[in-house]
Amino acid sequence: MTLEVKFTKLFINGDFVDAISEKTFETRDPRTGDVIGRVAEGDKEDVDLAVKAARKAFDHGKWPRMSGYERGRIMMKYADLIDQQKEELAKLECLDAGKLLALTKVVDIEGSADMLRYYAGAADKIHGETLKMAGNLHGYTLREPIGVVGHIIPWNFPSLMFFSKVSPALAAGCTMIVKPAEQTPLTALYHAFLAKEAGIPDGVINVVTGFGSTAGASIASHMDIDMVSFTGSTAVGRKIMETAAKSNLKPVSLELGGKSPIIIFDDADIDMAVDLARTATFYNKGEACIAGSRVYVQEGIYDKFVTKVTESMKSWVVGDPFDPHVHQGPQVDKAQFEKVLSYIEHGKREGATLVTGGKPCGEKGYYIEPAIFTDVEDNRGGNRESEQYEVRISCRGSDKGLKHSEQNVEIDSSWNHLDQLLPNYRSRLSFWRL
């Protein structure tokens, strides 16, 4: 599969430009490990330029001063352009991230356009409240855009994460700097191009490609950025919150990794439970913060479930994500590939039983067989980390996860067991200033 990569430079103030340092970095095809292209490596100086453009667009530009209806109309056009280019965008995301082409087209690209339309509809529905006060006084709340926002997005859902952050910020009237993950920078640059085509004014959306330790850190610490939104690991989220507080005390919106349990009780439809557990765990090759990668099975059906889920993996095809018969593509890059394999080895060293899978596959690229472990203690390190890839089948409780799901006929029975398994995840994404 060959595909022309059209955009590899930084997008600042409506133009594609080289990094000030003129440095670039490689982005690779995870199917083969081959270089797709070289992308501009933005640094602190480039972030400064992007912030300057965004600040000018916010303080003096048209976007925050348009009516909500006008912003929504332009956002609708932006969504239409994404739909028109969905074939190319899906192929580009598949090439850069190893995601399944058919699902990427429907879930990621069409989903991104739908998300834009949703927030476009909200742009002219910004309401405050009027308060009756003592005497002849009254009070009211006025929602205003917070200002310049920095978005730092992950590599597992590049387009969806781009628009989950950019869309509400656009609707509110904010301007922004987006730093895509260095593993998957290509679709963000294409989305920036389409934003300009749609009529979004220069400086409203700026995209700085580069590394988290440089470009990302500069966004978190920048004194002229009013808010940071980040999706990624808990460890990096802590650093961003600390850096934001030490700079200008900017508010931070965090969506952080977790380790989500699936709970299956004795009265479950076991075939349905097997199918749900397999899909929830290995969807998007396990690279999802809400992957159901720990499976808790009640003792009465435990052995039967293990047998059935192991047997079901024989029909699970790992291979080229452009092939419509494939269920799972490669890990996003070599580092993630090696990290997953290290977790598998760690699990075996700690005494867990590897029932099936867990080996590299294919002659090249970053492919791994889905791994199923049993006899996993809940306090083992690999069972509590978000960036790993095995099914953990255990009957023990847990206190960590972004979400939980139950497969059970009796709802009351499920809720009686959730005290130990309630997720600690809270998400707040707000671009308003009261």
User: Catalytic residues, which ones?
Assistant: 255
Q: Specify whether the CB–CB gap between 148 and 13 falls below 8 A.
A: no
What residues contact residue 334 under an 8 Å CB cut-off, 6+ apart?
28, 33, 366
With b for 16 or more beta-carbon neighbours within 10 A and e for fewer, the 384-413 pattern comes to bbbbbbbbbbbeeebebbbebbbbbeeeee
Question: What backbone torsions phi and psi does residue 71 show, to the nearest 5 degrees?
Answer: -60, -45
Q: Which of 293, 265, 263 is nearest to 392 (CA)?
A: 293
- State the Cα–Cα distance between residues 360 and 371, nearest whole angstrom: 11
Q: Is 140 exposed, middle or buried (0-12, 13-18, 19+ CB in 10 A)?
A: exposed
Residue linked to tokens 């059935």:
308
- State the Cα–Cα distance between residues 2 and 213, nearest whole angstrom: 31
Which parts of 202-351 are beta strand (E)?
A: 205-207, 227-232, 252-256, 261-264, 294-297
**The dihedral of CA 111, 113, 117, 122: what is its sign?**
positive
- Per DSSP, the three-state class of 139 is strand
- State the Cα–Cα distance between residues 217 and 157, nearest whole angstrom: 21
